[in-house]
Amino acid sequence: MDTHSILSRLPELLLPWYREHHRQLPWREDREPYHIWLSEIMLQQTRVEAVKGYYARFLKELPTVWDLAACDDDTAHKLWEGLGYYSRVRNLKKAAGILVEQWDGQFPRRYEDVLRLPGIGEYTAGAICSIAFNLNTPAVDGNVLRIYARLTGDDTPIDLPAMKKRAARDLKAVYPAEAGDFTQALIELGATVCGPNRKPDCGICPCREVCLGYRQGRAEALPVKSPKKQRRQEDKTVFILRCEGRYALEKRPDQGLLAGLWQFPNVPGKLDIGSALTAVEDMGLRPKGLRREVHRKHIFTHIQWNMKGIYLEVAEAGGEFRWLTPEQIDAQTALPTAFRQFWEEERDV
């Protein structure tokens, strides 16, 4: 069977299976574009179970695009705290502003217009347009690429742009009238039966009869990925500075990694205690006593931070910092995970 013959069978095989076996997820309860958009952005690089609580809390506080556009950055960051990749929520706010200003708070119904919104790439635009508006727009992510590679026996590395382009083109050619359900069915199959980082459950797969990977005994070996590049290593010394029950925080720059988020003061390199005390004095503070040291690491996509946390009591709440109580930190600030792990260590003492 050629690729088109295989893929053309998918609607008849996948749609009945999806309607009987799909998971009940809160963002599948309606076809509201705002809900689909929010869930797809949250689900990037994040497990479904982890997203459920964030999704409910976010919509409770910001139930409409208008509410999202009007909220301040700290509120949005706090609602996103712990999900990581904070550029996602900044782009959500930017896109919401555009939707309010240019589209009266409604999503445009053309794929090209949705794709122009900040933070929305081809996958997310395809998901919104097909699920919300039943348009013939495939949503091709890693899950769908895995299915495509196994079904067609294609050993082209799935991280190559040409592979993604080919899969989107071939799937678009077989999309049924029930476009939204078909997109969801592909996503569901790739998240469950034909899931990542484990042996595929070919015995219960609705597409087994047309799958070349299964018939050739190669399903588990597919898809192929290009070799990973080594992450850049960066050392940091993080200061958890306390004065009379309050702690020093500062905001990161508005551009770059973790832009605009709160952090504990930090400097490059892993400093010994003498150098660390000097660094604190250079911040305009007087160290009173070392409380403890903690070593942690945090992994981003392309960078690994190797971090040394130094907990110090200081004589006065000075310097160019905001000094907050534990209650204020918990309620008002969005600490990215890289720094929150040091705060959790402090709260556990």
Mind telling me the catalytic residues? 40
In angstroms, the CA 39 to CA 329 distance is: 27
For the chain, what is the total number of helices (H) and then of strands (E)? 16, 7
Amino acid at 4: H
Within 8 A by CB and 6+ apart from 211, the residues are 6, 150, 151, 202, 205, 219
In angstroms, the CA 53 to CA 39 distance is: 11
In angstroms, the CA 336 to CA 82 distance is: 6
298 bridge partner residues: 305
In angstroms, the CA 291 to CA 140 distance is: 50
Listed as own residue / partner, the contacts of 38-44 with beta carbons closer than 8 Å and 24 or more positions apart are 38/92, 40/123, 40/124, 40/127, 40/128, 41/88, 41/89, 41/91, 41/92, 41/119, 41/124, 42/83, 42/88, 44/85, 44/88
Tokens linked to 17: 């299976």
- The dihedral built from the CA positions of residue 100, 51, 238 and 257, taken in this order, carries a sign that is negative
Mapped to the 3 state alphabet, what secondary structure does 138-182 carry?
Answer: CCCCHHHHHHHHHHHCCCCCCCCHHHHHHHHHHHHCCCCCCHHHH
Within 8 A by CB and 6+ apart from 76, the residues are 62, 68, 89, 90, 92, 93
Other residues' Cβ atoms within 10 Å of the Cβ of residue 159: 14
In angstroms, the CA 138 to CA 149 distance is: 16
Tokens linked to 320: 């160019």
- The dihedral built from the CA positions of residue 127, 129, 132 and 138, taken in this order, carries a sign that is negative
